[in-house]
Amino acid sequence: MVDLDAYFARIGYDGPRAATPQVLARLHALHPAAVTFEAIDCLLDRGVDISPAAVDAKIIAGGRGGYCFEQNSLFRRVLEALGFRVTGLAARVRWNMPPDAPAQPRTHQVLSVEIPGEPGRRLVDVGFGGCVLTTPLPLAPHVETETPHDVYRLTPVGDELRLEVRREAGWVAAYDVSLTPCEPRDYEMANWFTSTHPTSHFRHTLLAGRTTPEARYGLLFNRLAIRPVGGEPTYAFLDADGIEHHLRETFGLPVEPSWRPAIETAARGAP
């Protein structure tokens, strides 16, 4: 299913291999620090292959990042190999959208995880960019969970649960999770739309996100945002060389010469 030795080396984990709350929490913290959220292949018209072999070759062996369908599918296989019970779910993204924005398609993959011998389910998500979780959340409404980076809660919205994060302006909606389990082909369809459809923002936007114990790092077009734990966010606007530098050094990506045209376009800023 997955080469655990290679995956653990990729994220820097050398602890127990057991289905316990402690192991789940540790893996959930390490993954977003090691594996950058990015969708550069969408910009380059390469498409995104979410088959296990392709994901492992890209993220584990190739040192690349990926977006939700890649990262959470990999994380699911890791957790299942350790003995966790995992159910795939889908969500409608609301991040950076006005409250009255029309409902989006369910194009974000998340996971519901059950721990043997422990009550309840956990919301697990290692693939959501600059707002990514760094710890599992109780998959239940009206529970505030404080993490080193942000405070989260789930709020009922119809028959879905809305993930909200508390920021300087108050509670901000991240996405609405449906509790209906997904089949693998549901993700194949959503991934095809997200990676190829002209209206998908991944087709037009250079972005990267990485969350370490010290800070959240986010790149959107030419703007680099750093949100240090316990400190004030800072922003910088980069030229093409600066973008390429930070993709390598801050986000740990193996930048290819073929990326340069997309980088130069991003350096001109958002359209």
Q: Which of these is catalytic: 68, 131, 149, 246?
A: 68
Q: Which of these is catalytic: 108, 131, 150, 176?
A: 108
Quote the distance between the C-alpha of residue 120 and its chain's center.
Answer: 23
Phi, psi of 245 (to 5 degrees): -60, -45
Is 68 an annotated catalytic residue? yes
Is there a contact between 91 and 178 (Cβ–Cβ < 8 Å)?
yes
Is 131 an annotated catalytic residue? no
Quote the distance between the C-alpha of residue 36 and its chain's center.
Answer: 8
Taking phi over 0 as left and psi of -120 to 50 as alpha, with beta for the rest, 29 belongs to alpha
User: Could you give the angle at the alpha carbon of 104 between the alpha carbons of 131 and 96, nearest 5°?
Assistant: 35
Q: Which of these is catalytic: 41, 56, 125, 176?
A: 125
Is 42 an annotated catalytic residue? no
> Sheet harboring 170-178: ordered strands across?
137-138, 122-124, 106-114, 85-93, 170-178, 160-167, 151-157, 145-146
- Could you list the active site residues? 68, 108, 125
